[in-house]
């Protein structure tokens, strides 16, 4: 019987999603699971939960500025807090969706490239020229970014991803599903791993 993938909902502007993205593949591989990467936008989630970006919240913002880089050090993952933060990620997400459709082997490298560009090299992935440069560095055709960011069916897919995330109960990023069990946050990876090891606990 084929096992279901780990579903990984994320917004490219989430540092905790970035951190989790560096860990989840090893966990999935160990348990012979695939990963279904679902790019989405946190805006609708903030709207639904009555929340806003962590760094814009009193007290929580100050804590996040300590906790995010410390969590990166804890996981031995490089991290440089970017500026501006957060930023609009729908263009980067659309490119990912385009690659998932047409060049699946290029999709995960793009995902890691965008996260690393933003969270370790402070490259502004909201800007199309930056995305063009990243695409070129990955060896993608020159029209990749323009084509995917303007494709109405890709725009619709991104919207559908957001709707699906909300339907699944996503309340923050990263939000992961294992056999319909939800895990929110890079700090839930140990529980997610226990779930995979034990088949649920």
Comparison of 30 and 57: residue with beta carbon closer to its own copies: 57
Phi first, then psi: give them for residue 105, nearest 5 degrees: -70, -20
Q: How far is the CB of 26 from its own copies (least distance, A)?
A: 18
Among 26, 70, 112, 163, binds its own copies (CB under 8 A): 70
> Which secondary structure element, helix H or strand E, spans residue 182, and what is its range?
strand 181-184
Residue among 83, 100, 79, 84 nearest 158 (CA): 100
172 binds its own copies per the rule CB under 8 A = yes
Comparison of 70 and 112: residue with beta carbon closer to its own copies: 70
Say how many residues touch its own copies, by CB under 8 A: 32
181 binds its own copies per the rule CB under 8 A = yes
Q: How far is the CB of 66 from its own copies (least distance, A)?
A: 6
**Among the residue ranges 20-28, 57-65, 130-138, 141-149, the one whose residues contact its own copies (CB under 8 A):** 57-65
Phi first, then psi: give them for residue 38, nearest 5 degrees: -125, 95
Q: How far is the CB of 62 from its own copies (least distance, A)?
A: 6
**Among the residue ranges 2-10, 69-77, 99-107, 124-132, the one whose residues contact its own copies (CB under 8 A):** 69-77
Are residues 150 and 28 in contact, defined by beta-carbon separation less than 8 angstroms? Answer: no
Phi first, then psi: give them for residue 36, nearest 5 degrees: -100, 105
Residue among 179, 192, 196, 194 nearest 20 (CA): 192
Asked if residue 30 has a cis previous peptide bond (ω within 30° of 0), the answer is no
171 binds its own copies per the rule CB under 8 A = yes
Comparison of 59 and 105: residue with beta carbon closer to its own copies: 59
**Among the residue ranges 29-37, 47-55, 80-88, 102-110, the one whose residues contact its own copies (CB under 8 A):** 47-55
DSSP SS3 for 178: strand
Residues 6+ apart with CB under 8 A from 77: 19, 22, 23
112 binds its own copies per the rule CB under 8 A = no
Determine how β-strand 6-10 pairs with β-strand 175-178.
Answer: antiparallel
HSE-CB of 201 using CA atoms within 13 angstroms: 9
Comparison of 159 and 188: residue with beta carbon closer to its own copies: 188
The binding site for its own copies (CB under 8 A) comprises 45, 48-51, 57-60, 62-63, 66-67, 70-71, 73-74, 166, 169-172, 181-182, 184-185, 187-188, 190-191, 194, 201
């Amino acid at each position: 019987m084929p096992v279901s993938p780990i579903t990984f909902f994320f917004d490219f502007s989430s540092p905790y999603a970035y951190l989790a993205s560096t860990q989840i593949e090893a966990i999935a591989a160990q348990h012979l699971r695939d990963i279904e990467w679902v790019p989405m936008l946190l805006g609708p989630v903030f709207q639904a939960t009555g929340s806003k970006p962590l760094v814009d919240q009193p007290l929580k913002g100050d804590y996040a500025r300590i906790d995010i880089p410390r969590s990166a050090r804890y996981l031995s993952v490089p991290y440089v807090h970017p500026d501006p933060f957060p930023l609009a990620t729908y263009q980067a997400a659309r490119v990912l969706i385009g690659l998932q459709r047409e060049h699946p082997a290029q999709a995960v490298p793009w995902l890691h490239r965008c996260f690393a560009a933003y969270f370790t090299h402070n490259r502004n992935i909201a800007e199309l020229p930056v995305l063009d440069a990243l695409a070129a560095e990955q060896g993608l055709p020159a029209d990749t970014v323009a084509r995917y960011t303007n494709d109405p069916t890709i725009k619709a897919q991104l919207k559908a991803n957001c709707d699906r995330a909300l339907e699944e109960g996503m309340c923050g990023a990263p939000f992961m599903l294992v056999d319909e069990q939800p895990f929110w946050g890079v700090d839930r990876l140990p529980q997610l791993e226990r779930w995979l090891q034990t088949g649920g606990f």
